[in-house]
Structures are given as structure tokens and as C-alpha cells.
Amino acid sequence: MSRPVPIYLRLHCAPLRRRDGLARLLHAKTGRACPKLLGYFAFKNDERRFALRLLELHPRFWLFRTHQAAFAADFVAVDMSERRVEHRRAYGIDLKRGHALIEGGGGAGNAFVGLPRLVRVLARAPILAPDHHLVLLTGDADRVLARIA
């Protein structure tokens, strides 16, 4: 029996290295990986490369790929090295290939409007606090990685 469509998928290095890794993650989480569902989480441009590099360079981060129709950024990255949930550094990330880095949500259009809902979902885990402040980053993958480091 299939489960509800998730608002996020937690990413790991091993599936990101596989061509069918996203489909396997979706199947494990939902019991299915149909083309429509895959489309909601599919990587564009340099998103897969960004995700893999972030996880390889900073293993302390948990990286979440968001459901693209939820308008909750492209990714949410949470620094899990802090034991206290309310003190964890967290980022909402909207990648824009070749663009300058903008902090605070500018240049992202509607990309961050669904983040409060995602934060509430992650708070139930508990990965974030229910009212957690995320640093919003928009820009080129390399610039985002440099800012997070």
C-alpha cells in the first residue's frame, strides 16, 4: 500500500551517486516512484552535484530535497552537530545557476512561501524547532556552498 506523498526527502551520498537513487529513495519512503512523483523531486541543472558536494564536504549536515510544488525551497540543510534542536543552524536554499548569492530570500520569487509548513513537519521529527529561523539563500551552487562552510 502506498503512503502519502512526502513534502521532503532526506538525501544521502550513496543514492545521489546512483542514477536511480532518487527513485529508490522515493520508493522506500512512499512505496512507489511513478514518473509524476519523481518529477516533484527531480534534480535540475547542477542540483544533484550541489547536494552530493554539500554532503561530502559537510557530513554534519542533513540535507532535504523538498517537494517542488510545495514552494519550500529547493533544499533545506540542517547542521546536526548541535544537540539542542533550537540552536541548530538551518538554511532554506534556492539554487539559481550563475547568480550572485542573495541572503534573506530576495530573488527567489515564491520559492520560500511553503517553508513554514516544512519547518513544522521537520519539528515533529524533531529536527528543527516549530518556529525555527532558517537563513534563506538564493544563488549559484558554488556560492551557496561557500556561504554555508
For 34-67, how does the pLDDT look when each residue is reduced to its tens digit (9 = 90+)? Answer: 899 999 999 999 999 999 999 999 999 999 999 9
Residue 10 lies in a domain: no
Report yes or no on 1 lying in a domain.
no
Q: Which residues of 92-111 are buried (b: 16+ CB within 10 A; e: fewer)?
A: bbbbbeeeeebeebeebeeb
Give the other-Cβ count within 10 Å of 10's Cβ.
17
Read off the pLDDT of residues 112-136 as tens digits, 9 standing for 90 and up: 999 999 999 999 999 999 999 999 9
Range with lowest mean pLDDT among 11-15, 30-34, 99-103: 30-34
Contact indicator for 92, 115 with CB cutoff of 8 Å: yes
Torsion sign (Cα): 88, 73, 136, 52? positive
pTM, full prediction:
0.94
Specify if 24 maps to a domain.
no
Domain count, the chain: 1
- Model pLDDT, residue 12: 96
Q: Is residue 144 part of a domain?
A: yes
